[in-house]
Amino acid sequence: MPELVFFSGTMDCGKSTLALQIGHNRSARGLQGVIFTRDDRAGEGKLSSRLGLVTDAVEAAPGMDLHAYLVDQLSKGGRVDYVIVDEAQFLASEQIDQLARVVDDLGLDVFAFGITTDFRTKLFPGSQRLIELADRIETLQVEAMCWCGARATHNARTVGGEMVVEGEQVVVGDVNGPAAEVGYEVLCRRHHRRRMTSISAHAGALSPDVLPVASD
């Protein structure tokens, strides 16, 4: 039976790498798929991994009907055996509904990859709808790590290395971007609550101790 599967995890845990691997394995068996993505770090119409692997994809723009796109491809004689969706958290709720229709009406497996919560620990609409509709939810076993060595569970947005908790929900950045720009860092819950990034923790460790005050 075809399924809608949601692979979730924090940033930097290998979601895009797994998406590319699933596509490669099916392609090696003679199957043909359609890859959708949104706002990939490599640019429009690309699916990329931090390991340096990149492939072409269809940019799932806001307002695009993903079900209708696939129906059009099939009606023109195209072959579609499966669907991969990366950065699925950025999709609108109705686009997730369309992916469910792809499974139910077209009989195609849909593999969606994304993070569940944003830098404010709030669910992305796309991820929320996937949790509600997916036949199966898989948490990636490759654990990202906080700077302290603990398992990273939260995504933090940084500006100049300092964690921020306000702003637009979607701002494209990367965990390896320059510190002066908008970037992201994965943290454990404790350090996310304390807004303590690797840069701020390092600065704190380098701060001189307070000198004792001599008493008269």
Say if residue 208's pLDDT is above 90.
no
Q: Which one-letter DSSP state was computed for residue 50? A: T
Residue 190 pLDDT level (bands cut at 50, 70, 90): very high
Give CA separation, 65 vs 36, 39, 122, in Å: 12, 17, 25
Q: Is 87 among the catalytic positions? A: yes
Say what percent of the chain tops pLDDT 70.
87
- pTM of this structure: 0.75
Top-confidence residue, 95 or 56: 95
* Order of strands across the sheet that contains 154-159: 162-164, 154-159, 182-187
Q: Please write the tens of the pLDDT for every residue from 96-135.
A: 999 999 999 999 999 999 999 888 888 999 999 999 999 9
Kindly name the residue from 3, 87, 132, 162 that is annotated as catalytic: 87
Task: Please say if the pLDDT value at position 203 is more than 70.
Answer: no
Q: How far apart are CA 14 and CA 152, in angstroms?
A: 13
pLDDT score for 179: 52
The helix, strand and coil proportions of the chain, stated in percent and rounded to the nearest 5, come to: 30, 25, 45
